[in-house]
Chains A and B, each alone.
Chain A
């Protein structure tokens, strides 16, 4: 007769539970990847974006905070020290040879040095950074207003997105890149930031230049920006979804 604590029976039950759990997880996994669910997720993302468009006007500003709200250290996430040789060479020289290339669907492709960017109309803002993981950090950013940079190069009518190409490879993978649509790109708080909390942008936070798009989640705010490209679609970039994390399953609309 089998006793309830019989090790064989217990092993059988444990294995059964594990197998059942694995099957269920596999089922959820398969369901999540199915075409039907992917279509539903895309529809839900579209709905969220439309709702945001409806509620947050083109100009609605992200909350700005007071100097007392600034976090003692601004948490650095993702890549905090790029290992790419070209980047290290530029960093060794304090980014004096660094140039931001702006190209693609523009009238006058240009390369900006840090001094060129500092000469452009700037903005300083104390804002909250919301990571997709759930934490928040408040910091003060100073940078060139992206809209002013775009005005200098002249955006062509076919352009729909602004793509930010970065120097780092997260975990040694593909080069990091991100994108915004023109509505977010021309938002007054969208900056190419070169200062954090009144000092030069630290390497851990994306030196010499990072994107701040304050109405979006952290993964949009590309660090180590090297090149800006105006495009009509993402098809020729990475896996075609408009960003490093988007290529890995995160949704393009990062307003939530």
Chain B
């Protein structure tokens, strides 16, 4: 077994510098910001757990609402409505808390910051994190463009499109690029990062700005862009949910595609290209025999 430690250099993985210091700093600040923004956002949402489309609230016909009703036997049931569809979501949405002490609450207490019910303070956390998130996002996007990284690393090249079916197939089987192929982001990664960085994240910031009546006086065009205050609020919620979904998938892919290597690349910047060819075990033993 010790022989494996003396593998020839050709087998040793190539280590590349994958992320700049700014990217790594930005990434970890975002982890904190996003957690605070999402959780305090749900706290704020809980103050009026309904979404509408248009300029103002059509209280009788929300697009989505999370509420509670009391059953004939006196127990509370959580009801989530999307358009005309109703779902019983007791325990998670509408009604949650320990079995003996169920409470009316749109999102459960464990998901909201800072406490189970504290709109004033949830807003403070939201704005504080927003003041970090939004300027850093703007700076990072500028940096990507100005440093040429956008063009070099994120914009798909023409030849990549022809292999899109292949890449999707490999991803679905959780087989990730190895060797030289892993030196660059693949098409799916590029598209996901482009979408999140240049569409979803700016959308969440801009719709967030239109929640402010003073901003609406300053930049009325922004409100028009989103079709009104309540549409903007709904889009803010959808964009936030998309960020959360990206976050979850991102973490899962980091876990299955080599958590140590990926984490190191986000801490020190160094990423080891996964070895190109992994020989089947029986062949490997035979090859190793002469040593």
Is the pair B110, A21 in contact by a Cβ cutoff of 8 Å?
Answer: yes
Is the pair A134, B47 in contact by a Cβ cutoff of 8 Å? Answer: yes
A42-61 to B contact mask, C-beta < 8 Å, 1/0: 00110110001001110011
The reply to whether the CB of A130 lies closer than 8 angstroms to some CB of chain B is: yes
- Are B220 and A134 in contact, with the CB atoms below 8 A? no
Are A256 and B56 in touch, CB under 8 angstroms?
A: no
Determine the distance from Cα of A3 to Cα of B62 in the docked complex, in whole angstroms: 46
0/1 interface trace, chain A 23-66, chain B, CB 8 Å (1 if under): 00100110110000000110011011000100111001111010
Q: Are B115 and A29 in contact (CB under 8 A)?
A: yes
Complex interface bits, A69-81 against B, C-beta within 8 A gives 1, otherwise 0:
1010001000000
Contacts of B50 in A (CB 8 A): 135
Distance in angstroms from A53 CB to nearest chain B CB is: 9
Chain B residues in 8 Å Cβ range of A203: none
Contact at B213–A62, with CB atoms within 8 Å?
yes
Contacts of B91-128 to chain A: CB distance below 8 A: 98, 109-110, 113-116, 118-121, 123-125, 127-128
A255 engages B214 (CB within 8 Å): yes
Residues 109-136 of A contacting B (Cβ, < 8 Å): 128, 130-136
Cβ–Cβ contact B109 & A25, under 8 A:
yes
Whether a CB of chain A sits under 8 angstroms from the CB of B22 is: no
Contact A128 B125 (CB under 8 A): no
A248 at the binding interface (Cβ < 8 Å)? yes
What is the interface size of chain B, counting residues whose CB is below 8 A from a CB of the partner? 41
Q: Is A214 an interface residue (CB 8 A)?
A: yes
Give the size of the chain A interface in residues (CB under 8 angstroms): 47
Q: A62-B217, A133-B48 are in contact. Are A32 and B55 (CB under 8 A)?
A: no
- Interchain nearest-CB distance for A46 vs B (Å): 11
* A135 adjacent to B213 (CB under 8 Å): no
* CB interface residues, B 129-184, toward A, < 8 Å: 131
Asked, given contacts A75-B59, A255-B212, whether A25 binds B116 with beta carbons under 8 Å apart, the answer is: yes
**CB of A13 closer than 8 Å to a CB of B:** no
* Across-interface contacts of A61 in B (CB, < 8 A): 217
- Closest A residue, CB atoms, query B56: A136
A44 in contact with B233 (CB, 8 Å):
no
Number of A-B contacts (CB under 8 A): 124
Report the Cα distance A47→B129, complex, angstroms: 13
Contact present for B214 and A32 (CB under 8 Å): no
B215 — which chain A residues lie within 8 A by C-beta?
52, 55-56, 255-256
Q: Does A215 contact B (CB under 8 A)?
A: yes
Quick one: which of B45, B52, B116, B216 has the most chain A CB within 10 A? B216
A149 within 8 Å of B (CB atoms): no
State how many angstroms separate the Cβ of A190 from the closest Cβ of chain B: 12
A134 contact from B45, B113, B217, B218, Cβ within 8 A: B45
A137 to B54, CA, bound (A): 11
* Contact pattern, B 77-100, Cβ under 8 Å of A = 1, otherwise 0: 000000000000000000000100
Q: B125 contacts which chain A residues (CB < 8 A)?
A: 32
CA distance A140 to B281 in the complex (A): 78
Q: B229 touches which one: A56, A136, A215 (CB < 8 A)?
A: A136
Q: Taking the complex as formed, is B44 at the interface, i.e. its CB lies under 8 A from any CB of chain A?
A: yes
List A contacts of B131 (CB < 8 A): 44, 47-48
Decide yes or no: A215 and B48 within 8 Å by CB, A25-B115, A28-B113, A134-B233 being known contacts: no
Contacts of A249 in B (CB 8 A): 118, 120-121
- Cα distance A186–B191 when bound, in Å? 50
Q: Which residues of A contact B211 (CB under 8 A)?
A: 130, 256
Contact with B along A211-244 (1 / 0, CB 8 A): 0001111000000000000000000000000000
With A56-B218, A69-B55, A69-B56 known as contacts, the answer to whether A130 contacts B116 (CB < 8 A) is no
**B214/A52 in contact, CB under 8 A:** yes
Cα distance, A235 to B131, chains bound together (Å):
29
Q: Are A52 and B212 in contact (CB under 8 A)?
A: yes
Q: Which of B52, B114, B127, B233 contacts A48 (CB 8 A)?
A: B127
B223 part of interface (Cβ distance < 8 Å): yes
A32-B121 contact given A47-B131, A63-B223, A135-B48, CB 8 Å threshold: yes
* Best-buried of A28, A136, A214, A217 by chain B (most CB within 10 Å): A136
A250 beta carbon closer than 8 Å to chain B: yes
Q: How far is the CB of B120 from chain A (nearest CB, A)?
A: 4
Q: Can you identify 25 A-B contacts, CB atoms within 8 angstroms?
A: A25-B114, A29-B114, A32-B124, A44-B127, A45-B124, A45-B127, A55-B219, A56-B218, A60-B217, A60-B218, A75-B59, A130-B213, A132-B123, A135-B50, A135-B230, A136-B230, A138-B55, A138-B56, A214-B217, A216-B214, A217-B213, A245-B120, A250-B123, A251-B123, A255-B212
